[in-house]
Structure formats: structure tokens, C-alpha cells
């Protein structure tokens, strides 16, 4: 498992196998043509529970989970996934 924390304080755990999933790479490549692929990417990366926790973490005072905030968090997770503590 790879554990980390985003710049905004969201704590996550990633299964290393998920990062080595070719279908995840395909979905990332598709995001330019289909921005809605982000929903699949987030679920593949964090799982159902992690996705729910992230949405609650970035929800604003009006109850909105903005796409901008979600993208920033996911980019942060990808950028730091190789730098964080690995615990098997």
C-alpha cells in the first residue's frame, strides 16, 4: 500500500496494483477527449469509499464538489504516489 496526503490534507491509501493497471492508463489517456473519464479514474484509484471521502473533503460551503478541486486532488495524488511511504 502507498499512503500519502494531498496538499489540502486528504489522506489516502493506494494499492500499488491499481497504479499498474493498464485500464487506468487508458482512462487517463482518454480524459482529453472525454473529461467525464475523471469519474472512472477517481473510482479506480481510490475505490468507492475513498472517492466518497475525497468528495466530502473538497465539498464547499454550498455542498458542491467542484471539478477543479477534484482534478487538483487527483493530480496531487498522482504526483506524490511515488514519493509517499510504502507499507506492504
Mean pLDDT of 71-84: 83
Cβ burial, residue 73 (10 Å; 0-12/13-18/19+): buried
pLDDT tens, 13-69? 998 898 889 999 999 999 889 988 999 999 999 999 999 999 999 999 999 999 999
Q: What is the pTM of this model?
A: 0.82
In a domain, 88, yes or no: no
In a domain, 85, yes or no: no
| Domain count along the chain | 1
Give CA–CA dist 43/61, Å, rounded.
24
In a domain, 87, yes or no: no
pLDDT of res. 86: 46
In a domain, 35, yes or no: yes
Amino acid at each position: 500500500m502507498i499512503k500519502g496526503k494531498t496538499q489540502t490534507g486528504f489522506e489516502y491509501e493506494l494499492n500499488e496494483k491499481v497504479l499498474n493497471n493498464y485500464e487506468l492508463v487508458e482512462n487517463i489517456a482518454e480524459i482529453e477527449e472525454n473529461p467525464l473519464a475523471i469519474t472512472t479514474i477517481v473510482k479506480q484509484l481510490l475505490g468507492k469509499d475513498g472517492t466518497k471521502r475525497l468528495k466530502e473533503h473538497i465539498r464547499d460551503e454550498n455542498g458542491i464538489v467542484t471539478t477543479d478541486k477534484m482534478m487538483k486532488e487527483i493530480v496531487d495524488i498522482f504526483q506524490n504516489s511515488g514519493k509517499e511511504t510504502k507499507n506492504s
